[in-house]
Amino acid sequence: MQAATPIPTDVSYLEYKGKYKGIFSWIFSTDHKRIALLYLYSMMVMFLVGVLLGLAMKLELIAPGKTIMEAKDYNAVFTVHGVIMIFMIVVPGLPAVFGNFLLPIMIGAKDVAFPKLNLLSWYIYVLGALLVIASVLFGNGTPDTGWTFYAPYSFKTGTNLLPAIFGAFVLGFSSILTGLNFIVTIHRMRAPGMTWTKMPLFPWTLYGTGWIQLLATPVVGITLVLVSLERIFGIGVFDPALGGDPILYQHLFWIYSHPAVYIMILPAMGAISEIIPTFAQKHVFGYRAIVASTLAIAFVGYFVWGHHMFTAGMSGTAQYTFSLLTFLVAIPSAIKVFNWISTMHQGSIRLETPFYWAASFIFVFMIGGLSGLVLGSLATDVYVHDTAFVVAHFHFIVFGGVGFAFFGAIHYWFPKMFGRMYDKGLANTGWIVFFIGFLALYAPMFYLGMKGMPRRYYDYLPEFHAANILSTLGSWVMAFGLVIILINLFRSAKHGPKADKNPWNGKTLEWTVPSPPPVENFAETPVYGEKDGPYEYQ
Amino acid sequence: MEHTVHQTHDHYDPEASKIGMWLFIFTELLLFGGLFVIYSVYRFLNPEAFHLAAEELNRAIGTINTIILLVSSATIAMATSAIQKNNKRQTLLLMLVTVLLALTFLVNKYFEWGAKFGHGIFPGSEHMIQTMSKGEILFFGLYFIMTGLHALHIIIGMAFIIFVMVLTARGKIHSERFALLENSGLYWHLVDVIWIFLFPLFYLIH
Amino acid sequence: MEKEKHHIVAFPTYLWVLVGLIILTFLSVGITSIELGELTVAGALVIASVKTLLVLTYFMHLKFDKPYIRIMVGFVFAVFLVVIIITFFDYYYR
Amino acid sequence: MYILSTQASNFVSGVDKAFLIILGISFLFLIGLTLTMLYFIYKYNRKKHPQATQIKGSTTLEIVWTVIPTILVMVMFYYGWAGWHFMKKAPEDSFNIKVIARMWNFTFEYENGKRTDTLFVPKNKAVKLNLNSMDVVHSLYIPSFRVKEDVVPGKEKMMWFIPQKEGIYELFCTEYCGLQHSYMYNWVKVMPEDQFDNWYADTTRQETTAVIESPAASGKRIMKNIGCFACHTVDGSKLVGPSFKGLYGEMQTVVTGGQERQVEADDEYIKKSIYDPNADIVKGFNKGLMLPYTNQLSEDNIRQIIEYLKTL
Ligand code: HEA
Ligand code: HEA
Ligand code: CUA
Ligand SMILES: [Cu+2]
């Protein structure tokens, strides 16, 4: 089929339409770069919905008692917020957008191994998203179980849970296919001479992520199927009335959902590992250590799920085993932080927007991660489990970590993706407003949790009022920052000044192709020699 | 490590599709893996009831079905050898045998399930709730889910093999290009492997 | 494009494996009919594992594939085993 | 101002110690690393340091910064374990109280039959709570005591503590359990032992109220205490369950074993709705939400409830 129309090497992927016209040249395109943008736009839509729900929650919590909604609505809002943010934004986020766009280019390939499967993953993603939306719009009530769907509440509630669960299942399938595609691509399609130890760090993290996606997602898939069957037939697997064990549900759920948090953070760490060397103009410090820690996180992260269940009634043995393993998985993250900071040492640092995001990433990631240590320790987790402290932890790390990395990545690769540059002044303003808002929004939640305010609370006692006000104000500041950032990016994608091939003097392969890249990326397949490597700044 | 082959224009890389298939098989293994975790936990918590309930299942049908699947696995494996020798007729014949055996397996399952339903044993049945202990209800719940999901995989596998047969008949699959046939075989063996575990776990605990 | 050599497995190999698998099936039926207590389950599972190993090595060609596929398969089974073991840290000691 | 909740039980010292140690180490690293990073950004800025020196790594450093955090996390693990492990086993001579959690309230049942919404406990005495859930997973959390344990249906679980400070503390449900999860809180009252004994011995107070009230008024009080209004209203609007307004004597469409039928909401029907709610499901509502109150409401109580329902 391709032999008929040879693909030009001088037309950018944004202009080349292939055999379809208009929108069809996007939604039928198997070009990994176009698929990446499809993901970017569809995620952006879902993301804005999630953000609005987040803001609504904060508005509700500005004062005790009813502010803008009923308890029923609040419960629905945090459920949908959680489902959207986890299953549609941060789990697929960096792999589907930046992984798709950059993985083939960074390893010197023309596309991913299975381009059609890649497009199919996006369709499946959209289907999953539509199912979740359907659960909100139709039927008798929006799901209200929390994103964890804990049994037995999840088959007692009268709300419209089935489509949401099925949606999560379908989204998981999309994520599996993406992971599979990336692993095969990395195994088979690296440029000649690019050995494993010459592969840049971002593809490495995608490789680790791919494995977690493959091995963890099916477990939650089957678990969600069982919850649906339970709702429909009452088979009893998790129903205590029929002999089932609700705690077993929690085991299975977290066997996926803990590794899932590393699905989220690993590509984020990968993006940071690209940005820092580029802006320090320096070889990354401890390449091998960073690779090893990536694989260690992926591997050990598979066995720590029980730290979400310290009060659920596990045996003591299981509790301290999980606590111990949790502490072990923190060490590779620490190694990464040390290596990033050391990369800056003796560098020649250029202060640009992506670097600001990366540096603030390190800061908020440390806060999020270190608060994870409080949660990993038995005595203290019993105290703060299911309080606002946990909410603060995961917003700092999920959204501080993954979100900041996402924004860092988009400011870093934007010129490559769209061939244009954004307004740097505006981008920096957006960053600082966002950063301040972020701290004001989530830091008070640590305090609230330490004082004992439970999470998923629609209403709270007056003693928690002051900190909640600060938090709500923070959410507005942050939203303002977000608006600045998004407007700047959207405008620049169309009207920004043309960008160079290599505006940051990066050393990885994507900076050797034109911006935006041509359809099959490389006019000539790059070949790695003995001395070449991803971060050779000489 | 394996060395890198630069892809050509027509994207045919049998090694890549083989890895892809294996990775997919891993996800399937973990899908059933989740169920095996559940099974082993409940079995551990209700050993007596599981014994009792397993008595209800028919060992003979189970054994026959096991053998059917094993034979069909051998035939599809032989089909991959046949295609490499470019023997199209033999390939198609072996695949046909595989599909027919799969069908027999399903027919057996149909009667087996039918008999259970006839005795009032099916998910959510009032009869079970009234006459059985919680452990037995769990056993049958798992029995239906696991064998049901397995049967679903049999159906998918059959469809896959039939699809490959059509391509083979049309000459799209031949001794130079048979990755798809090999993959359908891999998938079929996966279905077999899962049954190899389901069989003792459900039929052989006495 | 460099062509990779593919090993063609002869029919008799498959047939012998099949015979082995069938014998093992009867063996497991036999073993579980005699009362061995705890060992029954262990026996049945060991036999099932041997059967799986046969299917993997011959039918699924692991014997003739490059080693990294074998490593992956081993890794996946190992991960699954560890998951089961850790889950039982809870149930066994409860 | 102390950063954690009030300190009022025997577990406080262990938990707070672990907390402060982890927090201390964390702050040390957070501040240290942030300052280092800022210093590098300042010192090796492009303007000051135009040419980067390429350093690819250092095995010694990698080993150092693997070993140090490993030791530190083991310290954290140890303190976490030390503050926790004795939560798992209650002393033999503990004072037993049964906790019944249901959507959406806790009931505390004492061995002499006393039943309360607020948890009353003696100071300086080991108290063991036996946790039972009637419906979904709840979690009993007393911040000032540093204890929390999920209440799981179908599981026998317990938690224990020794209250060490008189006063009234919050008690929350921290496992999300549906609509009124955030209202599923109550109080713990710690009393000196003698005062507690007096309170405990006085079994008359809660069975019958001192004032003589009409059956309808008793019905209303019972329903309020046991939490019916979490799901039912009296004004015609529907929450989780149907409203009680105008219910008594009306014809109701119910689903019995999959079959729809009409029944009159008479005494028998209401009694059955309370003792065996899942036998007839009111059309448009869900099975399994309301659970039998067989052991919690006597026939007498039900008679009073019916009297109250008649007035609506
Ligand atoms: C991106 C997602 C992400 C990541 C990466 C992490 C990382 C970690 N998480 Fe987090 N976690 C979540 C997302 C994430 N988490 C979510 C979403 C939940 C809530 C789910 C729900 O209930 O809804 C949660 C909940 C959660 C709990 C359960 C809390 C509870 O419900 O009671 C626990 C408990 O152990 C925990 C621990 C940890 C630990 C130890 C790490 C570690 O990996 C962190 C490692 C990082 C560092 C340690 C910082 C960097 C290192 C240094 C600065 C050097 C110094 C370090 C040392 C001396 C060790 N997390
Ligand atoms: C990625 C995950 C993510 C993100 C970004 C957010 C964003 C926000 N969240 Fe979060 N939240 C969760 C994940 C997330 N949340 C989860 C899992 C829960 C638990 C649900 C449950 O209990 O079941 C939760 C629960 C939760 C609660 C607690 C509910 C309760 O327990 O009572 C609150 C309370 O205010 C809250 C507020 C907010 C606010 C104000 C925002 C936002 O409005 C802030 C605005 C965000 C931004 C300005 C930009 C961030 C940018 C990115 C993440 C990258 C973008 C990527 C692409 C566009 C592809 N959230
Ligand atoms: Cu009960 Cu939350
Ligand atoms: Cu976790």
Q: Answer yes or no: is the C-beta of A85 below 6 A from any ligand 2 atom.
A: yes
Q: To the nearest whole number, what is the mean pLDDT of chain D?
A: 84
User: Are residues D104 and D64 part of one domain?
Assistant: no
Reported confidence tier of residue A206, pLDDT bands at 50, 70, 90 = very high
Interface of A with B in 63-122 (CB under 8 A): 109-110, 113-115, 117
Checking if the pLDDT of C36 tops 70, the result is: no
Domain boundary among D201, D228, D247: D201
Q: Rg of the Cα trace of chain A?
A: 23
Checking if the pLDDT of C3 tops 60, the result is: no
Mean predicted confidence (pLDDT) in A219-227: 90
Within-domain flag for B51: yes
User: Are residues C48 and C7 part of one domain?
Assistant: yes
Tokens standing for C3?
Answer: 């062509």
User: Are residues C56 and C70 part of one domain?
Assistant: no
Checking if the pLDDT of D238 tops 80, the result is: no
Domains of chain A listed by start with CATH number: 29-512 (1.20.210.10)
CA-nearest residue to C80 within chain A is A215
The whole-angstrom distance between A303's CA and the closest CA on chain C is 7
What backbone torsions phi and psi does residue D261 show, to the nearest 5 degrees?
A: -155, 165
Predicted pLDDT at C5: 56
Mean predicted confidence (pLDDT) in D237-247: 79
Mean predicted confidence (pLDDT) in D228-248: 78
Q: Do you know the residue count of chain C? A: 94
What backbone torsions phi and psi does residue D298 show, to the nearest 5 degrees?
A: -85, 170
Contact A281, D55 (CB under 8 A): no
> CB under 8 Å, gap of 24 or more: what pairs does B159-168 form?
B160/B184, B160/B187, B160/B188, B161/B76, B161/B95, B161/B98, B161/B99, B161/B102, B161/B188, B162/B99, B164/B95, B165/B92, B165/B95, B165/B96, B165/B99, B168/B83, B168/B88, B168/B91, B168/B92, B168/B95
Contacts of A524 in chain B (CB under 8 A): none
Render pLDDT for A96-135 as a digit per residue (tens, 0 to 9). Answer: 999 999 998 888 888 888 888 899 999 999 999 988 888 8
In chain B, how many domains are there? 1
Reported confidence tier of residue B4, pLDDT bands at 50, 70, 90 = very low
Reported confidence tier of residue C1, pLDDT bands at 50, 70, 90 = very low
Q: From the CA of A257, how far away is ligand 1's center (Å)?
A: 12
Q: From the CA of C91, how far away is ligand 3's center (Å)?
A: 25
In chain D, how many domains are there? 3
Domain boundary among D201, D233, D264: D201
Predicted pLDDT at D28: 93
Render pLDDT for A169-189 as a digit per residue (tens, 0 to 9). Answer: 999 999 999 999 999 999 988
Checking if the pLDDT of B1 tops 70, the result is: no
Per mean pLDDT, which of A381-395, B107-121, D80-94 is the most reliable?
A381-395
Contacts of C89 in chain B (CB under 8 A): none
Q: To the nearest whole number, what is the mean pLDDT of chain B?
A: 84
Within-domain flag for B9: no
User: Are residues C70 and C56 part of one domain?
Assistant: no
Within-domain flag for D208: no
User: Are residues C72 and C52 part of one domain?
Assistant: no
Burial class (CB within 10 angstroms; exposed 0-12, middle 13-18, buried 19+) of D130: middle
Predicted pLDDT at D213: 61
Ligand 1 atom nearest the C-alpha of A268 is: 1
What backbone torsions phi and psi does residue D154 show, to the nearest 5 degrees?
A: 80, 5
Q: From the CA of A54, how far away is ligand 2's center (Å)?
A: 6
Q: Which of A263, A294, A394 to mutate to test the pocket of ligand 1 (most atoms within 8 A of CB)?
A: A394
The whole-angstrom distance between A314's CA and the closest CA on chain C is 5
User: Are residues C93 and C78 part of one domain?
Assistant: yes
Checking if the pLDDT of D212 tops 60, the result is: no
Predicted pLDDT at D207: 43
Contacts of A241 in chain D (CB under 8 A): 153-154, 288
Q: Is D55 at the interface with chain A, CB within 8 A?
A: yes
Q: How far apart are CA B157 and CA A518, in angstroms?
A: 39
pTM of the entire predicted model = 0.89
Domain that holds residue B24: 15-204
Predicted pLDDT at D211: 45
Q: What is the CATH number of the domain that holds B56?
A: 1.20.120.80
Q: Calculate ∠ Cα C22-B188-B115, nearest 5°.
A: 70
The yes/no answer to whether this complex scores an ipTM above 0.85 is yes
Contact A356, A428 (CB under 8 A): yes
Q: How far apart are CA B165 and CA B161, in angstroms?
A: 6
Checking if the pLDDT of D27 tops 90, the result is: yes
The whole-angstrom distance between B114's CA and the closest CA on chain C is 24
Checking if the pLDDT of D273 tops 80, the result is: yes
Reported confidence tier of residue B2, pLDDT bands at 50, 70, 90 = very low
User: Across the beta sheet with D95-102, what order do the strands follow?
Assistant: D115-116, D105-110, D95-102, D127-133, D157-161
Residue % of chain D over a pLDDT of 90: 22
User: Are residues C73 and C33 part of one domain?
Assistant: no
Q: From the CA of A259, how far away is ligand 4's center (Å)?
A: 7
Interface probe for B, chosen from A110, A180, A185, A238 (most Cβ of B below 10 Å), is A180
Checking if the pLDDT of B8 tops 80, the result is: no
Ligand 1 atom nearest the C-alpha of D73 is: 59
Predicted pLDDT at A8: 63
User: Are residues C24 and C55 part of one domain?
Assistant: yes
Render pLDDT for B153-185 as a digit per residue (tens, 0 to 9). Answer: 999 999 999 999 898 888 888 778 888 888 898
User: Are residues C6 and C50 part of one domain?
Assistant: yes
A201-233 vs A161-188: helix crossing angle, rounded to 10: 150
Within-domain flag for B185: yes
Q: How far apart are CA A209 and CA A294, in angstroms?
A: 9
Checking if the pLDDT of D210 tops 80, the result is: no
> Bridge-partner residues for D133, per DSSP?
D101
Q: Which residues contact D86 (CB under 8 A, 6 or more apart)?
A: D14
Checking if the pLDDT of D209 tops 50, the result is: no
User: Are residues C74 and C43 part of one domain?
Assistant: no
Q: What is the DSSP string of A11-71?
A: SBTTT--TT--TTHHHHT---HHHHHHHHHHHHHHHHHHHHHHHHHHHHHTTSSS-SSS-H
User: Are residues C27 and C3 part of one domain?
Assistant: yes
Determine whether the interchain pair C93/A316 forms a contact, defined as Cβ–Cβ distance below 8 Å: yes
Tokens standing for A121?
Answer: 């993953």
> Bridge-partner residues for D192, per DSSP?
none
Render pLDDT for C38-90 as a digit per residue (tens, 0 to 9). Answer: 777 788 888 888 988 888 888 888 888 888 888 999 999 999 999 999 988 88
User: Are residues D130 and D228 part of one domain?
Assistant: no
Domain that holds residue C13: 1-60
Predicted pLDDT at B6: 40
Q: What is the CATH number of the domain that holds D185?
A: 2.60.40.420
Q: How far apart are CA D217 and CA D223, in angstroms?
A: 10
CA-nearest residue to A520 within chain B is B9
In chain C, how many domains are there? 2
Q: Answer yes or no: is the C-beta of A89 below 6 A from any ligand 1 atom.
A: no
The whole-angstrom distance between A80's CA and the closest CA on chain B is 25
Checking if the pLDDT of B151 tops 80, the result is: yes
Predicted pLDDT at A363: 93
Mean predicted confidence (pLDDT) in A154-159: 79
Q: How far apart are CA C50 and CA C56, in angstroms?
A: 10
The residue among A26 and A106 whose pLDDT is bigger is A106
Q: How far apart are CA D25 and CA A370, in angstroms?
A: 9
Helices (H), A395-530: 404-418, 424-451, 465-495
End-to-end CA distance of chain B: 47
Q: What is the CATH number of the domain that holds D274?
A: 1.10.760.10
Mean predicted confidence (pLDDT) in B177-199: 89
Q: Which residues contact B67 (CB under 8 A, 6 or more apart)?
A: C22, C25
User: Are residues D102 and D73 part of one domain?
Assistant: no
Interface of B with C in 9-38 (CB under 8 A): 14-15, 18-19, 22, 26, 29-30, 33, 36-37
Predicted pLDDT at A2: 41
Q: How far apart are CA B114 and CA A86, in angstroms?
A: 42
Predicted pLDDT at D204: 61
For the stretch C5-34, what's the b/e string if a residue is b when 16 or more beta carbons lie within 10 angstroms of its beta carbon?
ebeebeeeebeebbeebbebbeebbebbee
Within-domain flag for D137: yes
What is the number of other CB atoms lying within 10 angstroms of the CB of residue A392? Answer: 27
Predicted pLDDT at B91: 87
Render pLDDT for A397-449 as a digit per residue (tens, 0 to 9). Answer: 998 889 999 999 999 999 888 888 888 888 999 999 999 999 999 999 999 99
Within-domain flag for B23: yes
Determine whether the interchain pair C22/B70 forms a contact, defined as Cβ–Cβ distance below 8 Å: yes
Domain that holds residue D75: 12-47+57-88
End-to-end CA distance of chain C: 59
Mean predicted confidence (pLDDT) in D2-17: 86
> Bridge-partner residues for D97, per DSSP?
D110, D129
Predicted pLDDT at C63: 82
Choose among A195, A223, A233: nearest Cβ to B34: A223
CA-nearest residue to B140 within chain A is A235
Within-domain flag for D295: yes
Reported confidence tier of residue A7, pLDDT bands at 50, 70, 90 = low
User: Are residues C50 and C17 part of one domain?
Assistant: yes
Subunits with 3+ C-beta pairs closer than 8 A to A: B, C, D
Residue at token pair 């063991």 = D128
CA-nearest residue to D231 within chain A is A72
Predicted pLDDT at D77: 92
Reported confidence tier of residue A373, pLDDT bands at 50, 70, 90 = very high
CA-nearest residue to C51 within chain B is B196
Residue type, D123: K
Q: Which of A59, A98, A391, A438 to mutate to test the pocket of ligand 2 (most atoms within 8 A of CB)?
A: A391
Predicted pLDDT at A417: 87
Within-domain flag for B197: yes
Reported confidence tier of residue A5, pLDDT bands at 50, 70, 90 = low
Ligand 1 atom nearest the C-alpha of A376 is: 35
Q: What is the DSSP string of B41-105?
A: HHHHH-HHHHHHHHTTS-HHHHHHHHHHHHHHHHHHHHHHHHHHTT-HHHHHHHHHHHHHHHHHH
Residue B69, CB-side half-sphere exposure with 13 Å CA sphere: 32
Render pLDDT for A471-529 as a digit per residue (tens, 0 to 9). Answer: 999 989 998 999 999 999 888 888 888 888 888 888 888 888 888 888 878 877 788 77
Predicted pLDDT at C4: 52
Q: From the CA of A67, how far away is ligand 2's center (Å)?
A: 20
Residue % of chain A over a pLDDT of 90: 35
Ligand 3, pocket residues at CB < 6 Å: D 104, 138, 173, 175-177, 181, 184
What backbone torsions phi and psi does residue D289 show, to the nearest 5 degrees?
A: -80, -50
User: Are residues C88 and C47 part of one domain?
Assistant: no
Q: Rg of the Cα trace of chain B?
A: 20
CA C89 to chain centre: 25
Checking if the pLDDT of B9 tops 60, the result is: no
